Structure 1
Amino acid sequence: MGADHGYITRDVGGVQRPAIVAWLRYWIYKDTGGKHYFYGDECVMCTSPWVNPQRKNWE
Structure 2
Amino acid sequence: MTVEAKDRLVSIKKSDLESLEATIETLQNEEVMRQLKESDQDIKEGKTRTTKKLLRELKD
TM-score interval, normalised by the smaller of the two chains? 0.3 to 0.5
Q: Tell me the TM-score normalized by structure 1.
A: 0.37
Work out which structure has the larger RCO, using CA pairs closer than 8 Å and 6 or more positions apart in sequence: 1
Q: Tell me the TM-score normalized by structure 2.
A: 0.36
Larger Rg: 2
Q: Which has the higher helix share?
A: 2
